Every structure is written in structure tokens, then in C-alpha cells.
Amino acid sequence: MNVAALPPFFRLIALASVDSTNRELRELALAGAPEGTAVTALEQTAGRGRRGRDWQSPPGNLYLSVLLRPTGSPAQAGQAGFVAAVALAEAVEKLVPERAAVTLKWPNDLLVNGRKAAGLLLEASGKGAGLDWLVLGLGVNVTSFPADTAFPATCLEAEGVSVGVNDLLAAFAWRLDAWLGRWRTEGFAPVRQAWLERAHGLGQPITVRLERETLEGRFEALDESGALMLHLPDDARRNISAGDVFYPGL
Ligand code: BTN
């Protein structure tokens, strides 16, 4: 990895193989590693996905975890996933063929032509009212994708993108650096706007699967914390902070 290609904020640790870059970076965070410490690996043997799922991690794809030490409340820290999703969308938009659609699926998935090409996993730990550390884990399907997922998947190569993992990492890192700066100086509003401009299914009927119930409704907006605002058939509204979104026909 050419370290000079990354913003100065990043202190990259590049591994050949690890169980999970998120798990590895969590250990470093607990040992006092500074913000901007990042771990990448060519493969993961026990990659973690959202809601306790596995993240298949063969060589050829991007596996990256970045350490943040947010000073705001845990609710504000939840916004970091949207910051990273917008940064990734901007990096990928520059690479895809002209007619390809790069969209974002709530909360933090990146879709290319309606199929999932990347996911984000946030893991954090609090200290008092604030957060001690937040690990932003990013997996991008570059050359392969799993066949057996609940939501249709793809990889960048299958969508006509030819990019090296390290170049993609650098492109994302620069956009992340820029958006973290904006988030800190201007707050969540511009992040939310950039996310909503790319939101998949905004204003459309969706199904949201929660831990214990499944809801049908219209995807209305994002609230201040990044929760999905769902307009239910009886005209009630629900703000949802954790769940899986499905679109009609999928
Ligand atoms: C999702 O379920 O969509 C989130 C997937 C996040 C996967 C990445 S790969 C790098 C980091 N390390 C992990 O174990 N998981 C995240």
C-alpha cells in the first residue's frame, strides 16, 4: 500500500489476513490508538456484518475499518455511518460507467444498479454520556459477491468497474476525510442532504423488518439521528433506528 496516497488523518495498518478488521481495530482502540487508525486486510476469516450476520471476505474485495473518537453524544455518532456512506458513494460514482446507478439503501448500504455492492458496520463503546471509540467497518465487493444473501448482491467488477482495492481505499479515504470535515464544521444537515439525494426508494413503499415485527409503509425521510421515517398506512409515523429494508418486487 502506498501510504502517501492517503490523507494524513489515516494511519493505516495493512494485514494479509485477519479474523475481522473491526475486531482488530477494537483491540487497538481499547489500547489507546488515536483517531484515524485504520486496519485493512486482504481477506477476513470471520468477517462481521450488521445484525449478527457473517460477511464473506475472500481475497479480492476491500475490507477496511477506521477508528473515530467522536466527541458528541452516541446519537450523533450514529450519523457517522451516513458520513461514510456518502463518502463511499462519491468515490464509486467516479468509477462506474455513465449509465450505472449508484444509490444508498438505509441505513448504510451502497447499491449499484439496485444490487448491494458494499456495507458498513459501526461498532462503538461509550464512556459516561459520550463515546470512547467508534469503529467504522466497510466491506466493498470489488471482484466477487456472495450468492446466498437475503438482498440481491453484486460486485464492482460485475457492474463494469475495473479498480484495484488500494486505489478504491485511497479514493474512499479522501472523500471520508472531506466529509468528516464537513460534518464537524456544518453538522449533519449537508450529510443528510447528500445521503437523501442518493436514497434508494425515497418516497416509495418499503418493507422494514425489525427484530420482532415487519412494517409496511412509505419511506418518508431521515431524522436528525439518521433514523428512517416511515409513514404507515394508518397515517401514523414511526422513526426506525435499526432494521432491514426491502423494496417491492425483491
Ligand atoms: C453489512 O452487513 O452490510 C455490513 C458489512 C460490513 C463488513 C465490513 S468488512 C470490514 C469490517 N470488518 C468486519 O468484520 N466487518 C466490516
pLDDT in tens, 49-83: 998 999 999 999 999 999 999 887 777 788 999 99
56 lines ligand 1 (CB under 6 A): no
pLDDT in tens, 80-100: 999 999 999 999 999 998 889
- Which residue from 50, 63, 67 has its CB within 8 A of the most atoms of ligand 1, so it is best to mutate? 63
47 lines ligand 1 (CB under 6 A): yes
For residue 43, what is its C-alpha cell? 481477506
- Which residue from 121, 144, 148, 168 has its CB within 8 A of the most atoms of ligand 1, so it is best to mutate? 121
How many residues can be counted in the chain? 250
Q: What is the pLDDT averaged over residues 231-249?
A: 92
Rounded to two decimals, the pTM is: 0.95
53 lines ligand 1 (CB under 6 A): yes
Q: How far is the CA of 233 from the centre of ligand 1 (A)?
A: 34
20 lines ligand 1 (CB under 6 A): yes
Q: Which atom of ligand 1 is nearest to the CA of 62?
A: 9
Smallest Cα–Cα separation from 187: which of 79, 85, 104? 79
65 lines ligand 1 (CB under 6 A): yes
Whole-number average pLDDT of the chain: 93
21 lines ligand 1 (CB under 6 A): yes
22 lines ligand 1 (CB under 6 A): yes
Per-residue CA distances from 176 to 65, 102, 146, 184, 192 (Å): 12, 17, 26, 12, 15
Q: What is the pLDDT averaged over residues 111-122?
A: 96
Cis amide linkage into residue 97, ω under 30° from 0: no
In the three-class reduction of DSSP (H, G, I as helix; E, B as strand; rest coil), residue 218 is classed as strand
What is the reported pLDDT for 61?
A: 98
Q: Which atom of ligand 1 is nearest to the CA of 47?
A: 14
What is the reported pLDDT for 77?
A: 80
What is the reported pLDDT for 78?
A: 84
Do residues 40 and 1 lie in contact, with contact meaning Cβ atoms separated by under 8 Å?
Answer: yes
Q: Which atom of ligand 1 is nearest to the CA of 19?
A: 14
149: confidence class by pLDDT, cuts 50, 70, 90: confident
pLDDT in tens, 185-212: 999 999 999 999 999 999 999 999 998 9
Other C-beta atoms lying within 10 Å of the C-beta of residue 162: 9
Do residues 218 and 109 lie in contact, with contact meaning Cβ atoms separated by under 8 Å?
Answer: no
